[in-house]
Structures are given as structure tokens and as C-alpha cells.
Structure 1
Amino acid sequence: MTGMKKKAAIIGGGVIGGGWAARFLLNGWDVAIVDPDPQAERKIGEVLANARRALPALYDRALPPEGRLSWHDDMADAVADADWVQESVPETLTLKHKVLGRLSAMAPAHAVIGSSTSGFKPSELNAEGARAIVAHPFNPVYLLPLIELVGEAETCTRASKLLRDVGCHPLTLRKEIEAHIADRLLEAVWRESLWLVKDGIATTEEIDEAIRMGFGIRWAQMGLFETYRIAGGEAGMKHFMSQFGPALSWPWTKLMDVPEFNDELVDLIASQSDAQSGHMSIRELERLRDDNIVGMLRALRRTKTGAGGVITAHEATLPAPVPGDLPGDLPVTGDRQVPTSWADYNGHMNDAEYLRAASDATDRFMEMIGADTDYIASGCSYFTVETHTRYLAEVHAGDRLRTTTQVIDGTGKRMHLFHRLVRGDGTLAATVEVMLLHMDLTTRATCNPEGIVAERLSRLAAAHADLPAEGSGRHVGQRSKPAVEPA
């Protein structure tokens, strides 16, 4: 992401406001927060701590340096020079009128003023002269990409671009309607679930299992209509509708018959929920949720499916690793935060993930010398034939991990690389030595590289020839120093 640093003003903290702050801050924006709650700094600080742990784990490139976080009592001071102003005050229309009216008068003319409202329409929000649009997020805002936009077309267009710059997926509604799109769908499921509990058909845990063990995972990557299209088999959606359409008239739903929302129902739901999840604190549940979402989104990212496609597209906008002030300007072939999924039962990075980090570095180095996807498509590539890893220091989930690559040998068919994996504190965590051979993908036999690949590899090998490579050429069990024989 390029250009001048942008600023977001967050009006109202809490879970949603804190999530907005994290989304902007971790993508390099300056963030100003206004919240009268005396516990706001602590609460939002905890949200930020979770976000710092989770959001970078979605990416294999480092996010931009964090922006500057500031706290304000004066709303006018907070919104000065802001590019985005997000209102997340309680869902009371009179309060929103008051706050949005003031923000519309104070904020710069170019600033997008968004409301996190889950139910009110822009015409209702702006009834007393405000200029806000709906920018409705989903919790956790710093992980889930969907933002529903409703309002004036030109403003929604500008808002869409800004949101994509911070890794979101803006969805602009064609018409305004109460509760927008997603919450109307969720409300239908919620009402049915209340009846299932009230009628003794299922407990809260059983209903959650029905979602998370089945269609919840399915919906995460295909949604509703595409899922049903597949359910129609080779004949597709038309066949599905003809087969299951008549069920719409069957007595399967009580959506138009809402159970009385009384203390008895509230107590029933609350007691079952306590039995289901009461053994964990809210923060523990949040971290469990975040780890699960990260794992699912990273899986979706591999296939560029659903929300994974949003992450892939956003990652492409992040700066690729570049050489730093290192001896001989060794190319930086990896710079990332270690995801929680790389940690093992000992709490540190699993052995296999060191090799994964080195493999990613090898791929990046191949791109740098011209052995990229186009080169592979032309019929040649490098295959790994041998590796040797030295584990020198612990690496934990959340650590910054930077990889540099030195060419030991680049003659003929061989590409002999020496990767150094360095923690964010400067500690050398591991070295991974890799021997690769250049291959003809048609004959599956070795061959010499030609052209720009051979030239760049030879040039880098010459530049790195006089650099130390302590630890290269070792074998498993080799002692650091010769054993001293007794006299």
C-alpha cells in the first residue's frame, strides 16, 4: 500500500469500535478514539492484543508498520484530518442523530462517515441533516472481511476503495432495508433456533453443532445459493428448485410466529449457554474463535475461495520483502509473523514449519532470479534434492521471522542455497541448507538453466562467494569442535 498515511477516527469503542480500530491501525492507519467509558483504554487494548496476535497470521507477508493510536475527549480534535470516521455508539436512533449530526459538521468534507448500525437505514440516520452511510461490519472486525455499505452512491464508491486497502470486502446494497442483508438472514436462523430450544427439540449446544459441523463450514466457502446449486447435481439450480421448491409451503418454519421473549425463555437460553461454554472466559473464547477463523481462512486462502480470495488479493498489495542493510545485501526472501497454527504442543514453532519457511524462501528466491510461474509454465524448474536444518533458537507464534538467502553454488544444474531464519529480536533461529537441481519438466531429467536464470544465479553466487556461511556443509551429529583425545 502506497501514498500518504491515512487517519481513522473511531467514535465509540466497545467490541465493534475496538475491532474497527484494530483493522485500521494494523494496516498502517493512524487511529484516534473517542469513548467516554473510563475502562475504554483497557478494553480496546485487549481487543488490540488479540488482533495483533491473529490478523498478521492470515498473511505470508508482513503488514505495514502500525499507525499511531491516540485517545481524545474532544470529538472535533479526533476527527480533524480524518479520512474515515466510524460511529459505533449504542443502537439508539436519537443518540445516533446527535452524534452523526456533530460528526457531519466537524469532519473534513472528504471524510467518509460510516455507522456500524446493524439495523437502521441511511434515511433514518440522516433524517436530521447528517451525511453518513451505513458501514456495517461483522465481529471480529479485524478478521472478518465483510462490510455492508448502504447510502449515497459516490460515498459508497470511495468507501469501497478505502476498505479494500485494509483488506475488507465491501458489499454495497442496491436498496436500503432494515437490518441490511446478513443480519436479516441471521435473524431468521436466530428465531428458528429460539423455537427449537423453547419446544425442547434441541439445546443451544446441539444447535451450534448442527451449524459448525455442517452447513456453517459449507457456507464459509460457497454461501447459500451456490451450495444449493451443487445440491441439484448435474441438472443444477433449476433441478434443485423443482425438487425442493414445494417444501416452501410445508410447515417447516415458525418464522412468522415468534415465541414470547420472556424471562423464562431468556433463563432457559442463558442456562444452556452457560453449560455449553461457561468453563471458558470471554477472552479465551475469543482467542479460540480467532484461531479457528485463522485456520479456516488460511485453508480458504490456499484455494482463493470465499474470504480466502480477499486475503490473497490483499496480500498482493503488501510490499514484497526487499534487501536490507545486511552483509553483501543478502536478499530478504521472507518476512512474516509466525501464525498460531505453526506452534506445537511445546508452544514453539514445529520442526516442519522451519522447512516450510525455508521452502517459501526458496520459492521467493526462484522468482527473484526469473524461475517464476511463467518460467515453470515454459517447461523448466528447480527440484529440491536435499536439505539440512539446524534449530538454533525457539520461535513462538506471534514472533516476527525474517529469512535471508545466500547462494553457495550456482554452477551447472545445481542451486545450493543457505537460508538464515532470524527472529524479530535479531536472534538467529535456524539455518536451512538446500540443494536443488534444474529440471526439464517434460523429460523429468536434469538440465542446465539458460538465459536470465543462469545469468542472475551466477551473478549472485559470485557476489556471495566471500561471505561466511557458518553451519553450511554440516551433517547430522557432527560436532562443533574435534573431540580431544585423552593423553
Structure 2
Amino acid sequence: MSSAKKTAAIIGGGVIGGAWAARFLLNGWDVRLFDPDPEAERKMSEVLGNARHALPMLYEIALPEEGTLTHVATISEAVAGAVYIQESVPERLDLKHKVFAKIEASAAMKTPVGSSTSGFKPSELSEGAKHPGRIFVAHPFNPVYLLPLIEVVPGPGADEAAVGAAEAILKSVGLYPLRVRAEIDAHIADRFLEAVWREALWLVKDGVATTEEIDNAIRYGFGLRWAQMGLFETYRIAGGEAGMAHFIAQFGPALKWPWTKLMDVPELTDDLIKQIADQSDTQSGALTIRELERLRDNNLVAMMRALKQQGAAAGKLIAEHEETLARPAAEGALVRTIDRTVPVDWTDYNGHMNESRYGQVFSDAADAMMRLVGADPAYIESGKSYFTVDSRIRYLNETLAGQRILVDSQVLEGKGKKYRVFHRMKNEAGEELATGEQLMIHVDLTTRRSSVPDDAVLQKVEALAAAHAVLPQPDERELL
């Protein structure tokens, strides 16, 4: 994808549509949003506030400059000139048909049109459309601004160029488009959720478990396994060294036992609905919906960042997306080495960034300064690198989760084996939060002893040191 701003049209700004808009906005897209709800702007503002808090925490560098959100009065205004369109109106087929007709009246013929529907098939959605091949299911999971899965279901006679273009767009904003091989009611993921939901309703109705006990069974047990391995890989491990075949041979017969009532649904009487609602209020009623959303988002960020550190599942996807984002560049005469958001898992019991994370910030800044002079991963792979042999950090002000931090770095010494760098960490208002100084020595990784850098690296270090020598220098009290 090019760096030029692109425009997405979002039709319907509820829980799902608003989160779609946030995902695009925070990845640098302009968004035109149509929703006739008089409260649409307020609701969108609240969803976007949560997204701004959470999504940047997944990454070690800043997301692109946020796009512009425009609330428009008509579908025609929303889709004209848009390169991607996402429909997220209520689950009524007649309403969706009316919306698609208005989209087709103003959108370019080849513009992909995704539907957030969880129940309708693309052949049903595209009935009566002039260009049915570019209408497809793009079913997301809440919150769309954090969870990456998008079930992509093309219909019969799909315009493969349009659907392929849509998948490329979805990938470019950090999503995972999962191509569903054939039309099927409820696609893939919701069929699992429906099965679990049916069984949960019976467990409550029969007095076996409360809503909280069912949720605890999921979040303290198999939910954690599913989050990083899914279903089949989890069960493959359960089969031991003999693998999946042994698991099925051992546990397959249990499928014929009368454990569940998955093909039956309890009647949702007023009494059962009240019972479930009362239990849910007891379980979670002390928190508002927005507070529950913030708790959910913080938990998801921490879990996905842990998966990212391991290069697994959703974390691997975030790391791959991060590689496509712009890296820090020179900021005037100094070097802007860090531009990122403080993640929630970096904070301690006082609510501010833990001391060790300041060290990580300045370590990451030093890595950026190494890459700047050519001591990049390829150079390290060749058997040479810089090691930090001395450092100092001064803590000046609190740094909080969700806060954007910027680090500007200056070379104080660059000759021979030495590479000495000074860093200033600030918030967006320019308030200084901390300073760090590092003395790095070039090392031969084969002998593990100091050595002179390659000529190309040394020349860049010396040139950068000379350019920074004419700049204002740190106060003596700030230095080692």
C-alpha cells in the first residue's frame, strides 16, 4: 500500500461499524461514516477513544498519522471516491438490499463492498445487485480495532480482483482475512460460538452453573489455550507423542455419549431470560459498559503483546504488520529514535511505567542508533555488534500507560570502538520525562572481545558524531 491517504466508507456506525472506522482511522486512512442515528457522533467518539487507548499499545513504534473522520448525511456522500466500503447496518436482509442499491448508485463499479453480517450468505446479500461479484462477507470480531480475524466469504461468481484487493487492504491495516471456502450459514467462527452458547443456556436453565461460573470455566481454562493454539493444535498436544490420531482414537467414542444438548435449545421464557440477566448483573453490573470495554481491551493488549514476544498466533500478525509501518527518522539535527505508546503491561502497582521499562526504551533507542549507522541485523549476523558497557538513567516525571513517548538521540562520542549516545524522552507536550546515556563498545561476536567496526560503519558513526558535536550538549549533571 502506498503512503498516500486513502478513504474508506463505513455504512453504519454502531458497535461494529464504529470499530471498523477506528481501525482504518488509526492506520492512517480517512473515513467517511454514514449513520442516521442522532447519537452517532457521540458513540463514535467513545469507540474511537477506546481504540486510541488500546491499539497503539500493541506496537513498538507509532502507528501512522491518524486519518480524518467525516460524518456524512447520505450514503452517496460516504461512498463517492472511496476505495473500500464496509456495510455494518442491522441484520435485516431488506435493509441491506436497500443500502447496497444506494451504494451501487454512487460507488465506482469495482470498489469492494464488504458486509459485517454474521448470518447472511453473500448470494443472499447480492440479490438484485448490478455488480454482485464485488459484494462479499467481511465478518469481523468485536472489537474490530483490536481483534484481527475477518471472515472473507465471496459469493458465486465473485469478482476475484475486487475481493483480492479487499484482502490486501484488510492486511494493510493489520487484519487477518480468513478466506472461507464455501458459503455456509454463520460462516466458521460463529458456528462454534453458537454451539457453546446453546450449551451454556442449558447449564444455566438446569441450575448446573451460573453465568459467572461458566465464564470462569472458559477464561481460566480452555479459553487461554484457544487464544494461542486454537482447537486442533490444542487437541494434538492432548494426544501426546502419538498426536492427533491417538487423541481421536482415545476420545472419539465420547462424542456418542449424551454429554451435551447442542442440537436442542431451551425455550427462552421470561423466567429464564430474567434468571440469566439477573446473574449477569450480579457478575458484572458494578462496571459500566465502557469500563468493561476498557478492561477487555487492556487484557487483550497484554495477551496479544505476550503472544507477540513469542512470535505466535495473533502476536506474530502484529509483529508482521509492525514491519510495514514507518520507522523513526531524523528529527531536525537530532535523531527521533522512539515514537510509540506506553503499553498497559509496562505499568506497575503505582500506575506508572516501571523503572525497567525506561531501560527498555533507551535500549530500543540505542538499537535504532545502531541501525542508523549500519549495525543492523545483517551486520550482527555477520559476527559484529555493539555492546552497552555503561549507562545512566535519570527519572524526571511519571510516564503512564497509553501515553505517547518520543525519544531524541544525540551522539556524544563516535571514534574507534566507542559509540556514546545521549537520549531525551519527552511526552507530546514536550515535557521531559527521563534522560539516558549509553556507552557502547564494538565487539567481535566470535571472540567476544572489543574490535574496530567495519569501515562503512565507522565512517557513519564518525560523521554523525561530528554533526552532533556542534549542537547544544547535555548539562554535566546529566552525564556519566
Structure 1 position 95 matched with structure 2 position 95: yes
Q: Deviations over 1:165-209 (max 9, x none)?
A: 111100111101111001011111111111111122211111111
2:445 corresponds in structure 1 to 441
Note if contact 2:118-2:139 (Cα within 8 Å) is conserved in structure 1.
yes
Q: Deviations over 1:108-135 (max 9, x none)?
A: 2132111110010011111222632111
Equivalent-residue separation in structure 2 for 1:103 and 1:385 (angstroms): 62
Structure 1 position 456 matched with structure 2 position 460: yes
1:223 corresponds in structure 2 to 230
2:399 to 371, 395, 400: 395
**DSSP 3-state at the match of 1:2:** coil
Note if contact 1:58-1:311 (Cα within 8 Å) is conserved in structure 2.
yes
**DSSP 3-state at the match of 1:331:** strand
Q: Is the deviation greater in 148-157 or in 46-55? A: 148-157
Equivalent-residue separation in structure 1 for 2:323 and 2:246 (angstroms): 39
1:148 corresponds in structure 2 to 151
2:242 corresponds in structure 1 to 235
Note if contact 2:386-2:442 (Cα within 8 Å) is conserved in structure 1.
yes
Note if contact 2:331-2:408 (Cα within 8 Å) is conserved in structure 1.
no
Q: Deviations over 1:360-394 (max 9, x none)?
A: 11111112222222222222222222211122233
Deviation at 1:62, TM superposition (A): 1.1
Q: Is the deviation greater in 178-187 or in 222-231? A: 222-231
1:42-61 matches, within 5 Å, as 42-61=42-61
Deviation at 1:57, TM superposition (A): 1.0
1:282 corresponds in structure 2 to 289
1:304 corresponds in structure 2 to 311
1:368 corresponds in structure 2 to 372
Return the letter of the residue paired with 2:446: T
Return the letter of the residue paired with 1:138: F
Q: Is the deviation greater in 278-287 or in 423-432? A: 423-432
1:479 corresponds in structure 2 to none
Q: Is the deviation greater in 270-279 or in 348-357? A: 348-357
Return the letter of the residue paired with 2:263: M
Note if contact 1:381-1:438 (Cα within 8 Å) is conserved in structure 2.
yes
Note if contact 2:76-2:105 (Cα within 8 Å) is conserved in structure 1.
no
Equivalent-residue separation in structure 2 for 1:2 and 1:400 (angstroms): 25
Return the letter of the residue paired with 2:138: A
**DSSP 3-state at the match of 2:338:** strand
**DSSP 3-state at the match of 2:113:** strand
1:122 corresponds in structure 2 to 122
**DSSP 3-state at the match of 1:36:** coil
Deviation at 1:456, TM superposition (A): 1.7
Deviation at 1:91, TM superposition (A): 0.7
Q: Deviations over 1:78-124 (max 9, x none)?
A: 21111112111111111112112221222121321111100100111
Equivalent-residue separation in structure 2 for 1:396 and 1:72 (angstroms): 36
1:416 corresponds in structure 2 to 420
Unaligned runs of 5+ in 2: none
Q: Is the deviation greater in 184-193 or in 402-411? A: 402-411
Equivalent-residue separation in structure 2 for 1:83 and 1:215 (angstroms): 40
Note if contact 1:409-1:417 (Cα within 8 Å) is conserved in structure 2.
yes
Deviation at 1:436, TM superposition (A): 2.1
Equivalent-residue separation in structure 2 for 1:370 and 1:472 (angstroms): 30
Deviation at 1:340, TM superposition (A): 2.6
Deviation at 1:338, TM superposition (A): 2.0
Equivalent-residue separation in structure 2 for 1:2 and 1:128 (angstroms): 35
Return the letter of the residue paired with 1:275: T
**DSSP 3-state at the match of 1:381:** strand
1:171 corresponds in structure 2 to 178
Equivalent-residue separation in structure 2 for 1:141 and 1:13 (angstroms): 12
Equivalent-residue separation in structure 2 for 1:218 and 1:109 (angstroms): 44
Note if contact 1:348-1:395 (Cα within 8 Å) is conserved in structure 2.
yes
2:138 to 132, 135, 147: 135
TM-score scaled by length of structure 2: 0.94
Structure 1 position 25 matched with structure 2 position 28: no
Equivalent-residue separation in structure 2 for 1:411 and 1:129 (angstroms): 69
Q: Is the deviation greater in 198-207 or in 140-149? A: 198-207
Note if contact 2:338-2:407 (Cα within 8 Å) is conserved in structure 1.
yes
Note if contact 1:150-1:156 (Cα within 8 Å) is conserved in structure 2.
no
Q: Is the deviation greater in 255-264 or in 409-418? A: 409-418
Q: Is the deviation greater in 214-223 or in 17-26? A: 214-223
Note if contact 1:301-1:311 (Cα within 8 Å) is conserved in structure 2.
yes
Return the letter of the residue paired with 2:94: T
Equivalent-residue separation in structure 1 for 2:398 and 2:431 (angstroms): 10
Equivalent-residue separation in structure 1 for 2:3 and 2:66 (angstroms): 15
Unaligned runs of 5+ in 1: 477-487
Q: Is the deviation greater in 335-344 or in 10-19? A: 335-344
**DSSP 3-state at the match of 2:241:** helix
Return the letter of the residue paired with 1:362: A
Structure 1 position 83 matched with structure 2 position 66: no
Q: What is the number of residues matched between the two proteins?
A: 473
**DSSP 3-state at the match of 1:317:** coil
Deviation at 1:462, TM superposition (A): 2.1
Note if contact 1:147-1:170 (Cα within 8 Å) is conserved in structure 2.
yes
Return the letter of the residue paired with 1:435: L
Equivalent-residue separation in structure 1 for 2:79 and 2:3 (angstroms): 20
Note if contact 1:431-1:471 (Cα within 8 Å) is conserved in structure 2.
no
Note if contact 1:9-1:33 (Cα within 8 Å) is conserved in structure 2.
yes
Return the letter of the residue paired with 1:451: D
1:172-321 matches, within 5 Å, as 172-321=179-328
Q: Is the deviation greater in 462-471 or in 167-176? A: 462-471
Deviation at 1:238, TM superposition (A): 1.5
Equivalent-residue separation in structure 1 for 2:365 and 2:475 (angstroms): 18
Note if contact 2:353-2:398 (Cα within 8 Å) is conserved in structure 1.
yes
Deviation at 1:138, TM superposition (A): 0.5
**DSSP 3-state at the match of 1:239:** helix
Cα 1:359–1:3, aligned 2, differ >3 Å: closer, same or farther? closer
Deviation at 1:5, TM superposition (A): 1.7
Equivalent-residue separation in structure 2 for 1:472 and 1:421 (angstroms): 18
Q: Deviations over 1:436-485 (max 9, x none)?
A: 22223233333332332222222222222232332456579xxxxxxxxx
**DSSP 3-state at the match of 1:162:** helix
